[in-house]
Amino acid sequence: MYLTVRDATKIYGNFTALDRVSIGIDQGEFVCLLGPSGCGKTTLLRLIAGLTDLDGGEITLEGADLSQLPARKRGFGIVFQSYSLFPNMTVAENIGYGLKIRGAAKTEISVRVAELLELVKLPQVADKMPGQLSGGQQQRIALARAIAVDPRVLLLDEPLSALDAKVRATLRDEIRQVQRELGIPTLMVTHDQEEALALADKIICMNHGVVVQAGTPEDLYHRPATRFVAEFMGISNLLSPEEVDRLFPNLLATRPASGKPQLACIRPEQINIAKSVDGAATVRSISFLGNLRRLEVESPVGMLTVETHGTNPCRAGERVRLHVSPEACTWVDDDGALAEGVPT
């Protein structure tokens, strides 16, 4: 691993904000720290940046201990949630600031600033003041400023959360493109699962100051380890073994031997639905979402959410038959942690 955090612990008074958290970032990797508000994401990012001190554990970069190194000597680039540009400097001065501090020559700075403005697709704004730019433009400049000094790691703390949905989606793709092009190992904090799924090579899902699961977006979505991850990573139908036995007995054989309480996690798009007059379930409501339909279906064990792309859609009130194939079901540990702060 390029950057390693081992057993990081942070305690505020008698509150443990981070409890022996271990994570790693590889060369060129884009990692998202994902979790509900207050789970410790920003605290972990600030520890890595050197803006907060560790109470236990260690952080190493290419094997070298960082704990005694002040933030400005770590060589990391940081973009915060709020636009943190210097308001009294032009865009060009903002981007070139880090290079100027390092004593770079004026011509070198202006060449680099021009390159970075091209990279973030804002070649015309060099002489503007930050206050003259939109929120999305300011975050692009903040990104350019962070990468101007060739950071060893890029740290992004919810850089998109203050932006409206459309700008957010565009900028999200641009950040990913810039990161790929430059290959800078990047850690981004977000509480938005869709953002994490779209951007990350690896997602680290946290709750209550601990890492609950780390893996690829596909792993976390299709193979969540616990109920919390299943619920946090999107819509899921969670059924007890007794409910599975009544509804989809073909899935029972997939249940692994485990001493722990378990639930079957079935994503809405994994349920096949077919009209059937003698079906045991009834469609109660339908939402048309453009590319798919989301149905609330009343089954003998309660309501299920089903998503279809079908061209022959069911109607509310119709009876239906439901089927799930064994490979579409994942058994998760019931950690009882109904995800608070789950994005809706």
Q: Looking at beta carbons only, is 46 or 74 nearer to ligand ATP?
A: 46
Return the residue of 14, 37, 107, 312 that touches ligand ATP, per CB under 6 A: 37
Helical H runs in 50-129?
91-101, 106-119
d(CA 121, CA 140): 8
Return the residue of 31, 42, 172, 213 that touches ligand ATP, per CB under 6 A: 42
**Binding window for ligand ATP (CB under 6 A); candidates: 36-44, 105-113, 147-155, 224-232:** 36-44
Q: Looking at beta carbons only, is 37 or 311 nearer to ligand ATP?
A: 37
Q: Looking at beta carbons only, is 40 or 130 nearer to ligand ATP?
A: 40
Count CB atoms within 10 A of the CB of residue 105: 10
Tell me whether residue 32 is exposed, middle or buried, using C-beta atoms within 10 angstroms of its C-beta: 0 to 12, 13 to 18, 19 or more: buried
Please tell me the count of residues contacting ligand ATP according to CB under 6 A.
11
Residue with the two structure tokens 């079957």: 264
- In one letter, which amino acid is 200? A
The answer to whether the beta carbons of residues 324 and 271 sit under 8 Å apart is yes
Query: By CB under 6 A, is residue 191 in contact with ligand ATP?
Result: yes
- Interaction pattern, residues 112-151, with ligand ATP; x per rule: CB under 6 A: ----------------------------------------
Query: By CB under 6 A, is residue 48 in contact with ligand ATP?
Result: no
Q: How far is the CB of 319 from ligand ATP (least distance, A)?
A: 44
Query: By CB under 6 A, is residue 43 in contact with ligand ATP?
Result: yes
Structure tokens belonging to residue 272: 């096949």
DSSP code for 251: G
The answer to whether the beta carbons of residues 281 and 321 sit under 8 Å apart is yes
- Closest by CA to 244, choosing from 330, 117, 310, is 330
For residue 14, how far is the Cα from the chain centroid? Answer: 29
**Binding window for ligand ATP (CB under 6 A); candidates: 31-39, 106-114, 143-151, 291-299:** 31-39
Q: Looking at beta carbons only, is 35 or 279 nearer to ligand ATP?
A: 35
Count CB atoms within 10 A of the CB of residue 164: 11
Q: Looking at beta carbons only, is 81 or 240 nearer to ligand ATP?
A: 81
Query: By CB under 6 A, is residue 8 in contact with ligand ATP?
Result: no
**Phi, psi (degrees; rounded to nearest 5) at 34:** -125, 140
Return the residue of 3, 39, 85, 244 that touches ligand ATP, per CB under 6 A: 39
Q: Looking at beta carbons only, is 139 or 262 nearer to ligand ATP?
A: 139
- In one letter, which amino acid is 269? E
Q: Which residues bind ligand ATP (CB under 6 A)?
A: 12, 17, 35, 37-43, 191
